[in-house]
Amino acid sequence: MREDLSRLSKGSSPRFGLDGPLPRPPGKTRGGLPKNGTLFANLNRVKSVRFNNDLDREFFSVLNARVDAYFRKTGKKRFANGAMWAKAAFFFAAYWAAWATIVFGGVSPRTGLFLALGMGFFGTCNALNISHDASHFTFAKAKWVNRALFWVSMNQLGLYAHFWDLGHNKSHHYKTNVAHEDVGVDAGGVLRIHAGTEWRPMHRFQHWYAFPLYTVYTLLWAVIRDWRVLKEGVLNDAVEIRLSRVRVAELAFVKVAYFGYALAIPMLVSPFTWKEVLVGFLAMHLVLSLYVAFTLFSSHINDFVSFYDVKVDPKLEHSFVRHQFLTTADFYPGSRIANTLLGGFNSHVIHHLLPKVSSIHYPALAPILTETAKEFGMPYVVSTLPGLFVAHLRHLRNMGVDPKTIKRARPRPVRPGLRIAKPLASRKRGAS
Protein backbone atom coordinates (compact mmCIF):
# COMPACT_ATOMS: atom_id res chain seq x y z
CA MET A 1 0.00 0.00 0.00
CA ARG A 2 1.14 3.55 -0.69
CA GLU A 3 2.41 5.43 2.33
CA ASP A 4 0.15 7.37 4.65
CA LEU A 5 -0.06 10.91 3.31
CA SER A 6 -1.07 12.53 6.57
CA ARG A 7 0.41 15.91 7.40
CA LEU A 8 4.05 15.66 8.38
CA SER A 9 5.11 16.59 11.88
CA LYS A 10 6.44 20.11 12.35
CA GLY A 11 9.71 18.94 13.83
CA SER A 12 10.89 16.85 10.88
CA SER A 13 8.91 18.18 7.94
CA PRO A 14 11.06 19.30 5.02
CA ARG A 15 8.03 20.58 3.08
CA PHE A 16 8.35 23.45 0.68
CA GLY A 17 4.76 24.65 0.30
CA LEU A 18 3.03 24.39 -3.05
CA ASP A 19 0.69 27.29 -2.36
CA GLY A 20 1.96 30.76 -3.08
CA PRO A 21 5.60 29.95 -3.85
CA LEU A 22 6.39 33.47 -5.06
CA PRO A 23 8.08 35.87 -2.63
CA ARG A 24 6.34 38.98 -1.40
CA PRO A 25 8.10 42.25 -0.66
CA PRO A 26 8.93 42.38 3.06
CA GLY A 27 7.02 44.68 5.36
CA LYS A 28 8.44 48.17 5.66
CA THR A 29 9.59 49.78 8.87
CA ARG A 30 10.23 53.37 9.81
CA GLY A 31 11.99 55.24 7.02
CA GLY A 32 10.50 53.04 4.28
CA LEU A 33 13.09 50.26 4.52
CA PRO A 34 12.52 46.70 5.76
CA LYS A 35 14.28 45.42 8.86
CA ASN A 36 17.04 43.82 6.80
CA GLY A 37 17.88 47.14 5.20
CA THR A 38 16.88 46.13 1.70
CA LEU A 39 13.83 46.83 -0.40
CA PHE A 40 13.25 43.77 -2.58
CA ALA A 41 10.43 44.58 -4.95
CA ASN A 42 9.04 43.30 -8.19
CA LEU A 43 8.57 46.51 -10.17
CA ASN A 44 6.25 44.84 -12.68
CA ARG A 45 8.83 45.24 -15.42
CA VAL A 46 8.26 41.52 -15.82
CA LYS A 47 5.08 39.82 -14.73
CA SER A 48 5.44 37.37 -11.86
CA VAL A 49 5.48 33.68 -12.64
CA ARG A 50 2.35 31.66 -11.91
CA PHE A 51 2.39 27.87 -11.79
CA ASN A 52 -0.49 25.42 -12.09
CA ASN A 53 -0.07 23.97 -8.61
CA ASP A 54 -3.23 21.90 -8.84
CA LEU A 55 -1.01 19.38 -10.61
CA ASP A 56 1.52 16.95 -9.10
CA ARG A 57 0.28 17.34 -5.54
CA GLU A 58 0.13 13.59 -4.99
CA PHE A 59 3.73 13.17 -6.13
CA PHE A 60 4.93 15.84 -3.75
CA SER A 61 2.90 14.40 -0.88
CA VAL A 62 4.30 10.93 -1.46
CA LEU A 63 7.85 12.26 -1.74
CA ASN A 64 7.48 14.17 1.52
CA ALA A 65 5.97 11.17 3.26
CA ARG A 66 8.85 8.93 2.17
CA VAL A 67 11.48 11.48 3.16
CA ASP A 68 9.76 11.95 6.50
CA ALA A 69 9.65 8.17 6.96
CA TYR A 70 13.40 8.03 6.32
CA PHE A 71 14.11 10.58 9.04
CA ARG A 72 11.75 8.85 11.48
CA LYS A 73 13.27 5.44 10.81
CA THR A 74 16.88 6.61 11.15
CA GLY A 75 16.19 9.00 14.01
CA LYS A 76 18.03 11.75 12.15
CA LYS A 77 17.04 15.38 11.90
CA ARG A 78 16.82 17.37 8.71
CA PHE A 79 19.59 19.67 9.95
CA ALA A 80 23.36 19.19 9.72
CA ASN A 81 24.77 16.19 11.57
CA GLY A 82 28.22 15.66 13.05
CA ALA A 83 29.71 14.76 9.67
CA MET A 84 28.44 17.98 8.14
CA TRP A 85 29.86 20.09 10.96
CA ALA A 86 33.20 18.26 10.73
CA LYS A 87 33.34 18.81 6.97
CA ALA A 88 32.53 22.50 7.36
CA ALA A 89 35.15 22.93 10.08
CA PHE A 90 37.79 21.19 7.97
CA PHE A 91 37.18 23.28 4.85
CA PHE A 92 37.08 26.52 6.83
CA ALA A 93 40.26 25.69 8.76
CA ALA A 94 42.08 24.51 5.62
CA TYR A 95 41.32 27.77 3.82
CA TRP A 96 42.76 29.93 6.58
CA ALA A 97 45.65 27.54 7.28
CA ALA A 98 46.73 27.93 3.65
CA TRP A 99 46.54 31.72 3.95
CA ALA A 100 48.50 31.77 7.22
CA THR A 101 51.21 29.56 5.74
CA ILE A 102 51.56 31.87 2.74
CA VAL A 103 51.86 34.97 4.91
CA PHE A 104 53.83 33.71 7.90
CA GLY A 105 55.28 30.36 6.82
CA GLY A 106 58.29 31.61 4.87
CA VAL A 107 57.57 29.16 2.06
CA SER A 108 59.03 29.26 -1.45
CA PRO A 109 57.18 30.96 -4.34
CA ARG A 110 56.32 27.56 -5.81
CA THR A 111 54.83 26.36 -2.51
CA GLY A 112 53.06 29.69 -2.10
CA LEU A 113 51.44 29.31 -5.52
CA PHE A 114 50.34 25.78 -4.63
CA LEU A 115 48.80 27.07 -1.39
CA ALA A 116 47.04 29.85 -3.30
CA LEU A 117 45.49 27.23 -5.56
CA GLY A 118 44.49 25.36 -2.41
CA MET A 119 42.79 28.50 -1.10
CA GLY A 120 40.74 28.58 -4.28
CA PHE A 121 39.75 24.96 -3.83
CA PHE A 122 38.89 25.20 -0.13
CA GLY A 123 37.24 28.56 -0.65
CA THR A 124 34.85 26.97 -3.12
CA CYS A 125 34.22 24.11 -0.70
CA ASN A 126 33.33 26.74 1.90
CA ALA A 127 30.83 28.39 -0.44
CA LEU A 128 29.22 25.16 -1.65
CA ASN A 129 29.06 23.38 1.69
CA ILE A 130 28.75 26.12 4.30
CA SER A 131 27.40 29.28 2.63
CA HIS A 132 24.76 27.55 0.55
CA ASP A 133 23.41 25.32 3.31
CA ALA A 134 23.47 28.12 5.86
CA SER A 135 21.56 30.44 3.51
CA HIS A 136 18.73 27.89 3.62
CA PHE A 137 18.93 27.61 7.44
CA THR A 138 19.76 23.90 7.41
CA PHE A 139 22.78 23.86 9.72
CA ALA A 140 20.87 24.35 12.95
CA LYS A 141 17.45 25.29 14.29
CA ALA A 142 18.84 28.53 15.68
CA LYS A 143 18.62 31.04 12.84
CA TRP A 144 21.44 33.16 14.20
CA VAL A 145 23.84 30.22 13.81
CA ASN A 146 22.95 29.88 10.13
CA ARG A 147 23.16 33.63 9.57
CA ALA A 148 26.59 33.80 11.19
CA LEU A 149 27.93 30.87 9.17
CA PHE A 150 26.55 32.30 5.96
CA TRP A 151 27.87 35.81 6.60
CA VAL A 152 31.39 34.69 7.43
CA SER A 153 31.82 31.92 4.86
CA MET A 154 30.55 33.94 1.88
CA ASN A 155 31.92 37.37 2.73
CA GLN A 156 35.38 35.95 3.41
CA LEU A 157 35.61 35.23 -0.32
CA GLY A 158 34.98 38.88 -1.18
CA LEU A 159 31.51 38.07 -2.53
CA TYR A 160 28.88 40.17 -0.77
CA ALA A 161 26.64 37.65 0.95
CA HIS A 162 23.54 39.83 1.12
CA PHE A 163 23.30 40.34 -2.64
CA TRP A 164 23.87 36.65 -3.29
CA ASP A 165 21.20 35.70 -0.76
CA LEU A 166 18.61 37.91 -2.45
CA GLY A 167 19.41 36.59 -5.89
CA HIS A 168 19.55 32.96 -4.86
CA ASN A 169 16.69 32.63 -2.41
CA LYS A 170 14.32 35.32 -3.69
CA SER A 171 14.85 34.87 -7.42
CA HIS A 172 16.56 31.66 -8.49
CA HIS A 173 14.71 29.22 -6.24
CA TYR A 174 11.28 30.62 -7.05
CA LYS A 175 11.74 31.29 -10.75
CA THR A 176 14.35 28.81 -11.93
CA ASN A 177 15.37 29.26 -15.59
CA VAL A 178 12.73 31.93 -16.15
CA ALA A 179 14.10 34.64 -18.44
CA HIS A 180 14.49 38.09 -16.86
CA GLU A 181 13.48 36.77 -13.43
CA ASP A 182 16.09 34.17 -12.50
CA VAL A 183 19.37 35.98 -11.86
CA GLY A 184 21.19 32.71 -12.53
CA VAL A 185 20.40 32.77 -16.26
CA ASP A 186 20.84 36.47 -16.96
CA ALA A 187 24.33 37.24 -18.24
CA GLY A 188 23.86 40.90 -19.11
CA GLY A 189 23.89 40.21 -22.83
CA VAL A 190 27.49 38.96 -22.86
CA LEU A 191 26.15 35.41 -23.16
CA ARG A 192 22.84 34.48 -24.74
CA ILE A 193 21.59 31.79 -22.37
CA HIS A 194 17.90 31.94 -23.22
CA ALA A 195 15.77 33.15 -26.13
CA GLY A 196 14.72 36.20 -24.12
CA THR A 197 18.16 37.73 -24.68
CA GLU A 198 18.54 39.76 -27.86
CA TRP A 199 20.85 38.00 -30.29
CA ARG A 200 24.13 39.70 -31.20
CA PRO A 201 26.68 38.59 -33.82
CA MET A 202 29.27 37.92 -31.12
CA HIS A 203 27.03 35.20 -29.67
CA ARG A 204 28.00 32.96 -32.57
CA PHE A 205 31.29 32.45 -30.76
CA GLN A 206 30.02 32.36 -27.19
CA HIS A 207 30.70 28.64 -26.75
CA TRP A 208 34.34 29.53 -27.40
CA TYR A 209 34.73 32.67 -25.31
CA ALA A 210 32.54 31.47 -22.43
CA PHE A 211 35.31 29.35 -20.92
CA PRO A 212 37.82 32.24 -20.72
CA LEU A 213 35.10 34.33 -19.08
CA TYR A 214 34.47 31.60 -16.53
CA THR A 215 38.11 31.71 -15.45
CA VAL A 216 37.55 35.21 -14.00
CA TYR A 217 33.95 34.74 -12.85
CA THR A 218 34.49 35.23 -9.12
CA LEU A 219 37.23 37.82 -9.68
CA LEU A 220 34.84 40.06 -11.60
CA TRP A 221 32.20 39.35 -8.99
CA ALA A 222 34.46 40.49 -6.15
CA VAL A 223 35.93 43.50 -7.95
CA ILE A 224 33.08 44.81 -10.12
CA ARG A 225 29.73 43.05 -9.86
CA ASP A 226 28.74 43.94 -6.29
CA TRP A 227 29.59 47.61 -6.83
CA ARG A 228 27.66 47.61 -10.11
CA VAL A 229 24.59 46.19 -8.38
CA LEU A 230 24.88 48.88 -5.71
CA LYS A 231 25.23 51.63 -8.30
CA GLU A 232 22.49 50.44 -10.67
CA GLY A 233 20.19 49.26 -7.89
CA VAL A 234 19.09 46.11 -9.73
CA LEU A 235 19.96 42.42 -9.71
CA ASN A 236 18.17 41.76 -13.00
CA ASP A 237 15.27 43.12 -15.05
CA ALA A 238 12.65 42.34 -12.43
CA VAL A 239 14.32 43.11 -9.12
CA GLU A 240 15.27 46.45 -7.65
CA ILE A 241 17.48 46.79 -4.58
CA ARG A 242 17.83 49.81 -2.33
CA LEU A 243 20.26 49.47 0.56
CA SER A 244 20.19 51.23 3.88
CA ARG A 245 23.29 53.10 5.01
CA VAL A 246 24.10 50.21 7.33
CA ARG A 247 24.09 47.76 4.43
CA VAL A 248 26.24 50.06 2.30
CA ALA A 249 28.73 50.30 5.17
CA GLU A 250 28.65 46.52 5.49
CA LEU A 251 29.40 46.09 1.79
CA ALA A 252 32.32 48.50 2.03
CA PHE A 253 33.64 46.72 5.13
CA VAL A 254 33.48 43.33 3.38
CA LYS A 255 35.44 44.59 0.40
CA VAL A 256 38.08 46.40 2.45
CA ALA A 257 38.53 43.41 4.75
CA TYR A 258 38.78 40.98 1.84
CA PHE A 259 41.32 42.87 -0.24
CA GLY A 260 43.13 43.70 2.99
CA TYR A 261 43.81 40.09 3.96
CA ALA A 262 44.00 38.73 0.39
CA LEU A 263 46.37 41.35 -1.06
CA ALA A 264 47.56 44.05 1.34
CA ILE A 265 48.72 41.89 4.25
CA PRO A 266 50.57 39.34 2.07
CA MET A 267 52.30 42.19 0.22
CA LEU A 268 53.35 43.88 3.47
CA VAL A 269 54.12 40.88 5.68
CA SER A 270 55.05 37.88 3.53
CA PRO A 271 58.45 37.53 1.85
CA PHE A 272 56.84 37.59 -1.60
CA THR A 273 56.97 40.54 -3.99
CA TRP A 274 53.76 42.33 -4.92
CA LYS A 275 53.87 40.66 -8.33
CA GLU A 276 54.09 37.19 -6.77
CA VAL A 277 51.23 37.99 -4.43
CA LEU A 278 49.12 39.22 -7.34
CA VAL A 279 49.86 36.05 -9.32
CA GLY A 280 48.79 33.95 -6.34
CA PHE A 281 45.62 36.01 -5.94
CA LEU A 282 44.71 35.49 -9.60
CA ALA A 283 45.53 31.78 -9.35
CA MET A 284 43.23 31.46 -6.35
CA HIS A 285 40.37 33.06 -8.28
CA LEU A 286 41.10 30.89 -11.31
CA VAL A 287 40.38 27.75 -9.26
CA LEU A 288 37.49 29.37 -7.43
CA SER A 289 35.91 30.56 -10.68
CA LEU A 290 36.22 27.29 -12.60
CA TYR A 291 35.10 25.22 -9.63
CA VAL A 292 31.99 27.37 -9.23
CA ALA A 293 31.30 27.51 -12.97
CA PHE A 294 31.57 23.76 -13.56
CA THR A 295 29.33 23.10 -10.55
CA LEU A 296 26.65 25.75 -10.85
CA PHE A 297 26.21 26.29 -14.58
CA SER A 298 26.07 22.62 -15.53
CA SER A 299 22.92 21.84 -13.55
CA HIS A 300 20.67 24.56 -14.94
CA ILE A 301 22.22 25.70 -18.21
CA ASN A 302 22.45 22.87 -20.72
CA ASP A 303 20.47 21.52 -23.65
CA PHE A 304 18.64 18.89 -21.60
CA VAL A 305 16.67 21.36 -19.48
CA SER A 306 14.07 23.95 -20.39
CA PHE A 307 13.92 27.74 -20.22
CA TYR A 308 10.81 29.88 -19.99
CA ASP A 309 9.91 33.46 -20.82
CA VAL A 310 6.82 34.83 -19.08
CA LYS A 311 7.14 38.35 -20.39
CA VAL A 312 3.98 37.90 -22.45
CA ASP A 313 2.06 35.26 -20.48
CA PRO A 314 3.13 34.73 -16.85
CA LYS A 315 1.03 31.57 -16.50
CA LEU A 316 2.89 28.28 -16.89
CA GLU A 317 0.91 25.12 -17.56
CA HIS A 318 2.93 22.92 -15.22
CA SER A 319 3.35 22.89 -11.45
CA PHE A 320 6.14 24.40 -9.39
CA VAL A 321 7.25 20.87 -8.51
CA ARG A 322 7.48 19.68 -12.12
CA HIS A 323 9.25 22.93 -12.98
CA GLN A 324 12.21 21.83 -10.84
CA PHE A 325 12.57 18.66 -12.90
CA LEU A 326 12.21 20.52 -16.19
CA THR A 327 14.89 23.07 -15.36
CA THR A 328 17.45 21.05 -13.36
CA ALA A 329 19.76 18.12 -14.06
CA ASP A 330 21.60 15.95 -11.53
CA PHE A 331 24.98 14.24 -11.72
CA TYR A 332 26.11 11.45 -9.42
CA PRO A 333 23.21 12.13 -7.02
CA GLY A 334 24.00 9.17 -4.76
CA SER A 335 27.75 9.79 -4.54
CA ARG A 336 29.02 10.75 -1.10
CA ILE A 337 32.33 11.91 -2.57
CA ALA A 338 30.54 14.30 -4.93
CA ASN A 339 28.33 15.39 -2.05
CA THR A 340 31.40 16.19 0.05
CA LEU A 341 33.17 18.18 -2.63
CA LEU A 342 30.13 19.89 -4.13
CA GLY A 343 27.93 20.47 -1.11
CA GLY A 344 25.02 18.56 -2.63
CA PHE A 345 24.91 20.56 -5.87
CA ASN A 346 25.16 17.23 -7.66
CA SER A 347 21.73 16.38 -6.17
CA HIS A 348 20.17 19.64 -7.21
CA VAL A 349 16.63 18.46 -7.92
CA ILE A 350 16.04 17.23 -4.38
CA HIS A 351 17.51 20.49 -3.12
CA HIS A 352 15.07 22.57 -5.14
CA LEU A 353 12.19 20.42 -3.95
CA LEU A 354 13.24 20.27 -0.29
CA PRO A 355 15.59 23.19 0.35
CA LYS A 356 15.13 23.00 4.11
CA VAL A 357 16.94 19.65 4.31
CA SER A 358 20.71 19.70 4.89
CA SER A 359 22.76 18.62 1.89
CA ILE A 360 24.50 15.96 3.98
CA HIS A 361 21.34 13.83 3.66
CA TYR A 362 21.06 14.02 -0.15
CA PRO A 363 22.91 10.76 -0.97
CA ALA A 364 20.50 8.83 1.25
CA LEU A 365 17.49 10.62 -0.26
CA ALA A 366 18.62 10.08 -3.88
CA PRO A 367 17.08 6.58 -4.21
CA ILE A 368 13.82 7.89 -2.73
CA LEU A 369 13.64 10.67 -5.30
CA THR A 370 14.57 8.34 -8.18
CA GLU A 371 11.93 5.77 -7.24
CA THR A 372 9.17 8.33 -6.67
CA ALA A 373 9.99 10.29 -9.83
CA LYS A 374 9.87 7.11 -11.90
CA GLU A 375 6.61 6.04 -10.31
CA PHE A 376 4.91 9.33 -11.18
CA GLY A 377 6.56 9.85 -14.55
CA MET A 378 8.50 12.96 -13.59
CA PRO A 379 11.13 14.01 -16.20
CA TYR A 380 14.15 13.38 -13.99
CA VAL A 381 17.48 13.94 -15.81
CA VAL A 382 20.68 12.36 -14.49
CA SER A 383 24.05 12.60 -16.20
CA THR A 384 27.74 13.09 -15.39
CA LEU A 385 29.52 16.36 -14.62
CA PRO A 386 31.64 16.24 -17.81
CA GLY A 387 28.55 15.25 -19.78
CA LEU A 388 26.55 18.19 -18.44
CA PHE A 389 29.34 20.67 -19.04
CA VAL A 390 29.58 19.50 -22.65
CA ALA A 391 25.80 19.90 -22.83
CA HIS A 392 26.28 23.38 -21.38
CA LEU A 393 28.69 24.38 -24.14
CA ARG A 394 26.43 22.75 -26.70
CA HIS A 395 23.54 24.85 -25.39
CA LEU A 396 25.62 28.02 -25.73
CA ARG A 397 26.48 27.05 -29.30
CA ASN A 398 22.82 26.49 -30.13
CA MET A 399 21.77 29.77 -28.52
CA GLY A 400 24.49 31.55 -30.48
CA VAL A 401 22.79 30.79 -33.78
CA ASP A 402 20.97 33.74 -35.31
CA PRO A 403 17.24 33.06 -34.64
CA LYS A 404 16.37 34.37 -38.10
CA THR A 405 18.29 31.50 -39.70
CA ILE A 406 16.55 28.79 -37.70
CA LYS A 407 13.82 27.26 -39.84
CA ARG A 408 12.59 24.62 -37.46
CA ALA A 409 13.55 23.16 -34.14
CA ARG A 410 15.38 19.87 -34.23
CA PRO A 411 14.69 17.15 -31.64
CA ARG A 412 17.33 17.09 -28.92
CA PRO A 413 19.42 13.91 -29.05
CA VAL A 414 19.90 11.75 -25.99
CA ARG A 415 23.64 11.73 -25.41
CA PRO A 416 25.59 8.74 -24.10
CA GLY A 417 25.70 8.66 -20.33
CA LEU A 418 22.41 10.49 -19.96
CA ARG A 419 19.40 8.83 -18.42
CA ILE A 420 16.02 10.44 -18.76
CA ALA A 421 13.21 8.89 -16.78
CA LYS A 422 10.44 8.06 -19.22
CA PRO A 423 6.87 8.97 -18.23
CA LEU A 424 5.30 5.96 -16.62
CA ALA A 425 1.70 5.49 -15.69
CA SER A 426 1.23 6.05 -11.98
CA ARG A 427 0.26 3.02 -10.03
CA LYS A 428 -3.38 2.83 -9.22
CA ARG A 429 -4.53 3.69 -5.74
CA GLY A 430 -4.27 0.74 -3.45
CA ALA A 431 -1.68 -1.04 -5.58
CA SER A 432 0.98 -2.85 -3.64
* Model pLDDT for residues 327-381, shown as the tens digit of each residue: 999 999 999 999 999 999 999 999 999 999 999 999 999 999 999 999 999 999 9
Cα distance between residue 25 and residue 41, in whole Å: 5
pLDDT score recorded for residue 301: 93
Mean pLDDT per 10-residue section of the chain, whose length is 432 residues: 36 38 35 39 50 92 95 94 96 98 95 97 96 95 96 96 90 88 85 90 94 94 93 78 90 97 96 96 96 88 90 83 95 94 94 95 96 95 91 94 73 45 36 36
Residues 6+ apart with CB under 8 A from 146: 134, 135, 136, 137, 138, 139, 140
Alpha helices by DSSP H, 21-81 = 57-74
Phi/psi for 42 (5° steps) reads -85, 115
pLDDT score recorded for residue 140: 93
> What is the identity of the amino acid at 219?
L
- Contact (Cβ atoms closer than 8 angstroms) between residue 239 and residue 42: yes
pLDDT score recorded for residue 408: 54
pLDDT score recorded for residue 31: 34
pLDDT score recorded for residue 294: 84
Burial 101-125 (b: 16+ CB within 10 A, else e): bbbebebeeeebbebbbbbbbbbbb
- State if pTM tops 0.85: no
pLDDT score recorded for residue 300: 93
pLDDT score recorded for residue 412: 55
pLDDT tens-digit series, residues 74-125 = 999 999 999 999 999 999 999 999 999 999 999 999 999 999 999 999 999 9
pLDDT score recorded for residue 8: 35
